[in-house]
């Protein structure tokens, strides 16, 4: 949308310059308007370049975040699989606890060498 207005301003400036030339206005006035036109064109070029650079940065960041989230999802799935392999299938009851509680509980059990067996133990594996 801004580009449309920009193109209109450039068109008006060019027609003004043509008018000034045709009506033999002072060379300083014509030169000033040409400088104004050049500066506006440079400004818009810089803005377009900045927008392109920002879009490239956004795409790079988006790809990076997608990789991070995919990696985290894979880690969660791996941990859930390990839990299921070891017979821990009551995820909702454990997930209802706060993070700090679970970490402190795990540290406490590790420090005191306490091992809690899962509710369901595969009989074939225990033989």
- CA–CA distances in Å: residue 99 to residues 7, 43, 66: 57, 52, 24
- Round to whole Å and give the CA distance between 27 and 17: 11
pLDDT one-digit tens code per residue, 66-88: 999 999 999 988 988 888 887 77
CB-based contacts of 86, cutoff 8 Å, min separation 6: 118
Q: How far is Cα 119 from Cα 87, in angstroms, rounded to an integer?
A: 7
DSSP state of 113: T
Write out the two tokens for 117.
Answer: 């067996």
C-beta of residue 30 within 8 angstroms of C-beta of residue 21: yes
pLDDT at 126 over 60: no
* pLDDT for the residue 68: 95
Q: Over the chain, what is the mean pLDDT?
A: 84
């Amino acid at each position: 949308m801004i580009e449309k207005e920009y193109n209109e301003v450039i068109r008006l400036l060019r027609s003004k310059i043509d008018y000034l030339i045709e009506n033999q206005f002072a060379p300083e006035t014509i030169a000033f308007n040409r400088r104004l036109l050049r500066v506006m064109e440079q400004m818009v070029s810089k803005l377009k370049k900045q927008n392109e650079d920002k879009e490239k940065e956004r795409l790079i960041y988006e790809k990076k975040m997608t990789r991070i989230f995919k990696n985290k999802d894979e880690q969660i799935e791996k941990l859930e699989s390990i839990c299921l392999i070891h017979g821990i299938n009551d995820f909702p009851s454990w997930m209802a606890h706060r993070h700090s509680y679970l970490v402190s509980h795990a540290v406490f059990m590790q420090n005191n060498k306490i091992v809690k067996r899962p509710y369901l133990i595969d009989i074939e594996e225990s033989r």
